[in-house]
Structure 1
Amino acid sequence: MLDRIAASLPSLAPAEQRVGELVLHDPKAFAHLPVRELAERAHVSKPTVVRFCRSMGYDGLADFKLKLAGHANEGVPFIHRSVDTDDKPADVLVKVIDNSVAAFLQYRNAASPAQLEQAGLAILRTWKQGQRLEFYGAGNSGIVAQDGQHKFFRLGITCLSSSDGHIQVLSATMLRPGDCAVIVSNSGRTRDLLDAAEIAKANGATVIAITASHSPLASLCDIHLAADHPEGYDVYSPMVSRLLHLLIIDVLATHVALQMGPELQNQLQQLRTNLQSKRHSPEQ
């Protein structure tokens, strides 16, 4: 959260920059001081303090302070602990799990509920209008895109996924206003995905990106679900990034499911009943 604030400072207005610098100087104090005192310390107005919080993607000061307090008090190291060639199985176990847990907690504290709500509303509109929901990814992110299709297909939403750049371009070309394209990318710099995003957006579709902050894809999309983590983009065995992207898909699918009403429960129960015939009965 603090890294994201520091990276965003140059793009903010001077008054909001002073609020951001106050946060970075003493996060714990900022999380507990009243807005009046925060404004006095930053030499800005009280509305500017609230405006800064919204610029960072939060609903307001209360939401921002809640997430900031959780970040400051968590006590979990967010430095990526890379495995070494001489690590024993017990070391690998601890490092891989700690990396994943740290990334999840970092996401919990820094995620924007407002962006999640916007993404959910866009997908719900697509579902209600009987339009298209598509998931695009490349390489490892292509597997996450398939998981997205599977999760939303189970909700009764007609959707598809693609990890082929040519198919993505063809598919994005056929999108129209009311359709949604969910694009998953670790770096946010993959050319095929950027091409698909530009085409989908030009055709009036809503582009939702699960990707790193301050990336070209994050700047291009309509709704950004930030997926920031300590794992380097040059790692060719992605672990933390893949799990974080899958988590965001799960959070989004759960949010959408809760908004779909009681009819969904009947449908899921019917799916479960129909799938039971595919399993061996337990031994008596």
Structure 2
Amino acid sequence: MSNQLKEIFTGDAPPAPAALAAKVRTLGPSMTRSMQRVAEAVAGDPAGCAALTVTGLAELTGTSEATVVRTARLLGYPGYRDLRLALAGLAAQQQSGRAPAVTADIAVDDPIADVVAKLAYDEQQTLADTAAGLDTHQLGAAVGALSGARRIDIYGVGASSLVGQDLAQKLLRIGLIAHSFNDPHLAVTNAVQLRAKDVAIAITHSGSTVDAIEPLRVAFEHGATTVAITGRPSGPVSQYADHILTTSTARESELRPAAMSSRTSQLLVVDCLFVGVAQRTYETAAPALSASYEALAHRHTPRTSR
């Protein structure tokens, strides 16, 4: 990640205009309802809000001036004046075509071509937001823990369990001992066996999935290094996570539930983890990966009859 993006998402400098919308999407769900109204207003109409005073935006959103200022600070700006400058910059970028406007939700009567275009845009935006918001220090620490782990347990349910299976399969192919659990009872009974050299990973978009949090808690209390992959870094899962990898909180709609949109960002984080571990363990990972490719190639090659 570039130094500019690190500054944007670690609070060392106010977010650049192009990153403002990503900040709103990522932090919106953790805001109070009144702060969400302010965030939604500035993301939906940056040009209009840039022309408003703090009092005007408070009246427009039915909130208070203090709420507007708190929202600006949560988004990474020292004050409302700085937020207004970013809004003006974002509006200028959108008018020039360098920053796309937020697309509308998919409608029941949308032509299939529009469905493809809207989904493609949302997928691209989700990946961009996740990459921009991913804390590379936390990612590096998680990669380091995985690289030296005796055993890796991964917990997830529903769509997150599919992501967990993908990560476990990737790690197994480079010679690491990794298991994915979607049965909460089995996950907890295995978590009891983890120790200091082990790693436990919980994948939960909401950050509050009990069936993923409970085994992570058990692993945490038994001394394992714990990692949370979540769209809600302030959620309950954070209590038991040594390292938190935040995914983008994509917009949910009637025809595109959260399970679909969250999986895209989770898979990006999983790929980042895998590549990072493969780099750290290249001397052993490369031969293991080659051996797995060779084994699969033999399996897929038709046998000749004698």
TM-score (norm 2): 0.66
Structure of higher CA gyration radius? 2
Greater shift, 269-278 or 164-173, is seen at: 269-278
Counterpart Cα distance in 2 of 1:148 and 1:270: 18
- Identical-pair percentage: 25
Partner amino acid, structure 2, of 1:102 = Q
8 Å Cα contact 1:134/1:182 also seen in 2: yes
Give, in whole Å, the separation in 2 of the partners of 1:74 and 1:199: 48
Q: CA deviation at 1:76?
A: 4.1
| TM-score, L = length of structure 1 | 0.71
Superposition map of 1:118-157 within 5 A:
118-126=141-149, 131-157=150-176
Aligned residue in 2 for 1:192: 211
Residue 215 of structure 1 corresponds to which residue in structure 2?
Answer: 235
Contact preservation (8 Å) 1:134, 1:161: yes
- List gaps (5 residues or longer) in structure 2: 1-21, 36-69, 87-96
Matches of 1:245 and 1:19 in 2, distance apart? 23
Question: More relative contact order in 1 or in 2 (CA 8 Å, sep 6+)?
Answer: 2
Alignment correspondent of 1:166: 185
1:257 and 2:278 correspond: yes
For residues 130-154 of structure 1, give each alpha carbon's deviation from its aligned partner in whole angstroms, at most 9, with x where no partner exists: x210111011111111111111111
1:23 positional shift: 7.5
**2-side partners of 1:233 and 1:193: how far apart?**
25
Instruction: Report the RMSD for the aligned CA atoms in angstroms.
Output: 3.1
How many angstroms does 1:207 deviate by?
A: 1.1
The answer to whether structure 1 residue 22 and structure 2 residue 72 are counterparts is no
Residue deviations 1:59-99 (CA, integer Å, cap 9, x gap):
xxxxxxxxxxxxxx97244x474321111111111111111
CA contact (8 A) 1:231 1:241 kept: no
Identify the match of residue 95 of structure 1 among 108, 118, 121. 118
Alpha-carbon offset, residue 266 of structure 1: 2.4
Deviations 1:182-240 (A, max 9, x none): 11111111112121121111111111010022211134311000012223399646222
CA distance in 2, matches of 1:183, 1:152: 16
Letter in 2 for 1:277: H
Q: Which runs of 5+ in 1 are unaligned?
A: 31-72
- Given that residues 175 and 284 in structure 2 are in contact (C-alpha distance below 8 angstroms), is that contact kept between their aligned partners in structure 1? no
Find the aligned partners of 1:243 and 1:104 in 2 and give their Cα distance: 7
One-letter identity of the residue aligned with 1:253: F
Residue 124 of structure 2 aligns to a residue in which SS?
Answer: helix
Structure-1 separation of matches of 2:184 and 2:103: 31
Give the Cα separation in 2 of the matches to 1:27 and 1:125: 43
Contact residue 2 and residue 24 of structure 1 kept, 8 A = no
Paired AA for residue 101 in structure 1: Q
How has the CA–CA distance of structure 1 residues 74 and 259 changed in structure 2, closer, same or farther, with 3 Å as cutoff? farther
2-side partners of 1:254 and 1:27: how far apart? 37
